[in-house]
Amino acid sequence: MSRISISWIFGFLALFAFAVAHATTTPSSGLPYTVGNITLANGIDVFYREAGPSNGTTLLLLHGFPSSSHQFRNFIPILAGHGYHVIAPDYPGFGFTTVPSSLNFAYSFTTLTDTVAAFLDAKNISSFIPYMHDYGGPVGYRLAIQRPQSILALISQNANAYLEGFGQSFWPPVVFPLWNATTPAEFQTAANPVNSTVLSLRGIQSQYTTGSAKPRLIEPEAYWLDYSLINEKPGNRDIQIDLLTDYRSNVPLYPSWQAYFRQMQPKLLAAWVKNDIIFVPPGAHAYKRDLPNAEVVLLDAGHFLLETNLAQQANIVLAFLRKNGL
């Protein structure tokens, strides 16, 4: 057979493969989720990722520091594929949500929660299951207290509601000095090391790699995106330091969240990781005190567990939802 006819055969094979690939791709597929944004009445433009049937049970994915809805990029299609309506907004100060500077927005867990609440109202979402990671905890639990009738269940991925959840190697040396500062000079002294470590590329990378049993599965794009968004937006480092400082405001609310757990007995899954240094396993077990029926699972992974243990976490979450008829 001549060279020419062999290359023709390969040409036809390639064309055939191309045709098959396109024939099996339905016209509506493409992105596993859609991206969009909604401009709220106050001018904040909330960016979000959304997937799944609009009549499915809504899972509201609430991201952690220093990431955005991007941390759920691989999780969303799995949940949507099981019939859930999945929606993941970026908070002000994170991801692709934009806040007009004319608003003089005060970044706090109160205003982050207010923004997510306004976003839910704009999307007409009146019942949902918060899936909370890290900063998603205070946002989700504040929402739950404000609109308990909307909450179908709660899922916590290292989203903290108990004092024993604070990792002693992170909070006391790194964040408590911000909380305790009483003068601008003390605040600056506390902010400098946060600025140069926690918000550096290395610091953000270590949020992904510390404690991970499979660091080779972590795509560098994830922490580079977080780092770029924090460092590209003017004033964003100060916003992040303000939010770490304001995290303090959640602690006095813990008793009210715990009272809500005791009184309402929401179905709760705490699917945490063993090796997080920020929110540690005693914080997961603590849910059992107020919610004896809470399901507590600990995975062998680090803070950003969906980067490395996606299928495992998805199976745990889907089994919890199925078990509870959700």
Ligand X SMILES: *[C@@H]1O[C@H](CO)[C@@H](O)[C@H](O)[C@H]1NC(C)=O
The size of the interface with ligand X (CB under 6 A), counted in residues, is 18
- Based on CB atoms, which residue is closest to ligand X, 56 or 77? 56
Among 11, 43, 53, 148, binds ligand X (CB under 6 A): 53
Q: Which of 40, 73, 117, 195 binds ligand X (CB under 6 A)?
A: 195
Phi first, then psi, for residue 268 (nearest 5°) are -135, 130
What is the residue type of 234?
P
Pairing of strands 45-51, 85-89: antiparallel
The yes-or-no answer on residue 303 being catalytic is yes
We find the least distance from the C-beta atom of residue 72 to ligand X, in angstroms, to be 17
In what helix (H) or strand (E) does residue 60 lie, and over which residues does it extend?
strand 58-62
Contact window for ligand X (CB under 6 A) among 144-152, 154-162, 188-196, 279-287:
188-196
Tokens encoding 118:
């306004």
Position 73 contacts ligand X (CB under 6 A): no
- 32, 81, 147, 176: which one binds ligand X (CB under 6 A): 176
Q: In the β-sheet with 295-299, what is the strand arrangement from edge to edge?
A: 34-39, 45-51, 85-89, 58-62, 129-133, 154-157, 268-273, 295-299
Exactly one of 47, 131, 223, 304 binds ligand X (CB under 6 A); that residue is 47
For ligand X, the binding residue among 51, 191, 305, 314 (CB under 6 A) is 191
What 3-state DSSP class applies to 120? helix
Q: Does 180 bind ligand X (CB under 6 A)?
A: yes
What residues from 202 to 261 belong to the interface with ligand X (CB under 6 A)?
237-238, 241
Q: Does 56 bind ligand X (CB under 6 A)?
A: yes
Measured in degrees and rounded to the nearest 5, phi and psi for residue 301 equal: -155, 175
CB of 213 to ligand X, least distance (A): 31
- Indicate which single residue of 73, 77, 81, 96 sits in contact with ligand X (rule: CB under 6 A): 96
Radius of gyration of the chain (CA): 22
42 binds ligand X (CB under 6 A): no
Binding status of residue 105 toward ligand X by CB under 6 A: no
Shortest distance in whole angstroms from residue 80 CB to ligand X: 13
- Strands (DSSP E) contained in 80-143 are 85-89, 129-133
Q: Which of 5, 104, 124, 149 binds ligand X (CB under 6 A)?
A: 124
Closest Cα partner for 226 from 217, 237, 215? 237
* Tokens, residue 252: 């006095």
The answer to whether 295 and 320 have CB atoms below 8 angstroms apart is: yes
> Of 116, 101, 109, 103, whose CA–CA distance to 38 is shortest?
116
Residue 150 to residues 59, 130, 290, 304, Cα–Cα distance (Å): 12, 10, 20, 27
Piece of the chain touching ligand X by CB under 6 A; list 21-29, 156-164, 171-179, 299-307: 171-179
Please state, as a whole number, how many other Cβ atoms lie within 10 Å of the Cβ of residue 177: 17
CB of 15 to ligand X, least distance (A): 36
Residue numbers annotated as active site: 303
Task: Give me the residues that bind ligand X (CB under 6 A), please.
Answer: 37, 47, 53, 55-56, 96, 123-124, 172, 176, 179-180, 191-192, 195, 237-238, 241
